[in-house]
Amino acid sequence: MPLEPMRVSGDWRATGTAAGTTDPIAACSRAPGTGPLYAANEGNQGDRLSAETAGPQRAGDYPRSCAPGVADGAGAAQGPEPLRLMAVHAHPDDESSKGAATMARYVREGAEVLVCTLTGGERGDVLNPAMDRPEVRANLPRLRQEEMARAREILGVDQRFLGFIDSGLPEGDPKPPLPEGCFALTSLAEAAQPLVREVREFRPHVMLAYDESGGYPHPDHVMSHKVAVEAFEAAADPDRYAGAGEPWQPLKLYYFASFHRGKFTALHEEMLRRGLESPYGKMFEQRAANDDPRPQLEITTRVPCRDFFGIRDEALLAHATQIDPESFWFACPLDVQRAAWPTEDYHLARSLVDTELPEDDLFDGVRERVCL
């Protein structure tokens, strides 16, 4: 069912912009004739951008969705700056399974995108049988960093590890205690400080994060949510996290809504319509039998990015220790996905700009108000 249009006030958060903050809001109109490149793409052009072409592009290669440059204090004209998007993730590979096609699209439209990976995934398992070898397990931390380097090159994003230690996924009944020194046991202030520093340095207009549940109950995902919200709220306050850079206020915070029943139902029905065997029927049965308690986020924003699903999958496969090419991730053909669910989906959790829901652009309300 389509969402009814709804206006969202620009003060949709608990606290306002702190005094002394670098304020990105200015009365700048969008330059004519600079609509997003995605609208002009045909024939899945995005998927033809392989790892060799996915790196950072020259500033002149793309039309920028922004106003002309403004003069600085000395009267010299400053050129337009790109929109900036930050995605906060718990482990390497998370960036390629949640919001990857969105990031690939925005990068190729000229936006700057930074992925902040809070842990190194050191306690992850080897989930690809072809990689489950003693030498792989012995060198898993180094291999996961190498995999992340390949994935970020494919996506075309910048990426930084923030240095925390993977907590692992405790299993059993009762579950064992989390290991000492892990990310999930770090105090919120200590865990948030590196991200606050990244926010103040990178100065994102939009941030992406997990919801309160973490997307699934991994302790690092839940902690990542807390850290992202803390950074969004605190980075603008000059009295908090002193020494972590000049204050900066992001304008919007979204939660990923990547894996929801509406999407899987649409994919399931499209596969059946085409006479294909669907992998989703069994998943529905298992969730019904287990009385799945996970809440479904309201989807406020659907970003069209079907032309970039191939790049998403290429980045996902770069995480070879974590992703089996024969796994559930690739059970649904790309042409089915593009036809049945051509978007990646989000929930708008905070906004300091006016926007109308539903949205189809993470920068709705930002393009019109940020002087770029």
Summarize the confidence of residues 151-180 as an average pLDDT: 95
Phi, psi of 303 (to 5 degrees): -95, 115
Cβ proximity of 348 and 9 under 8 Å: no
Residue type, 296: Q
pLDDT of residue 36: 32
The HSE-up count of residue 194 (CA atoms within 13 Å, CB side) is 16
d(CA 182, CA 166): 6
154 Cβ neighbours under 8 A, 6+ residues apart: 50, 51, 54, 311, 314, 315, 318
User: What one-character DSSP code corresponds to residue 49?
Assistant: -
d(CA 274, CA 137): 41
pLDDT of residue 11: 52
Helix (H) or strand (E) holding 258: none
Q: Is the pLDDT of residue 77 over 50?
A: no
Ordered by start, the domain boundaries in the chain are 8-31+79-259+296-357, 261-295
d(CA 209, CA 207): 7
Which has more confidence, 70 or 230? 230
User: What one-character DSSP code corresponds to residue 188?
Assistant: H
Q: Look at residue 87 and give its three-state secondary structure.
A: strand
CB atoms within 10 A of CB 196: 25
Letter string b/e over residues 254-269, b meaning 16 or more CB atoms within 10 A of that residue's CB? bbbbbeeeebbebbbe
* pLDDT-based confidence at residue 81 (cuts at 50, 70, 90): confident
* pLDDT-based confidence at residue 185 (cuts at 50, 70, 90): very high
**Number of residues that make up the chain:** 372
d(CA 263, CA 279): 13
pLDDT of residue 21: 44
Summarize the confidence of residues 255-271 as an average pLDDT: 95
Summarize the confidence of residues 63-73 as an average pLDDT: 36
pLDDT in tens, 29-65: 333 333 333 233 333 333 433 333 333 333 333 333 4
Residue type, 372: L
What Rg do the C-alpha atoms of the chain give, in angstroms? 21
Q: Is the pLDDT of residue 75 over 80?
A: no
Cα–Cα nearest to 47, from 149, 135, 154 = 154
In the block, tokens 């992406």 appear at 208
Q: Look at residue 85 and give its three-state secondary structure.
A: strand
pLDDT in tens, 188-242: 999 999 999 999 999 999 999 999 999 888 999 999 999 999 999 999 999 999 9
User: What one-character DSSP code corresponds to residue 294?
Assistant: P
pLDDT of residue 128: 96
d(CA 236, CA 263): 36
Q: Is the pLDDT of residue 180 over 80?
A: yes
* pLDDT-based confidence at residue 133 (cuts at 50, 70, 90): very high
Cβ proximity of 218 and 176 under 8 Å: no
What does pTM read for this prediction? Answer: 0.81
Query: Is 3.30.70.20 the CATH number for 8-31+79-259+296-357?
Result: no
Cα–Cα nearest to 323, from 151, 86, 104, 139 = 151
Tokens of 190: 């200590």
In the block, tokens 């304020």 appear at 23
d(CA 111, CA 109): 6
pLDDT of residue 216: 83
Q: Is 295 exposed, middle or buried (0-12, 13-18, 19+ CB in 10 A)?
A: exposed
d(CA 145, CA 149): 6
Summarize the confidence of residues 292-311 as an average pLDDT: 90
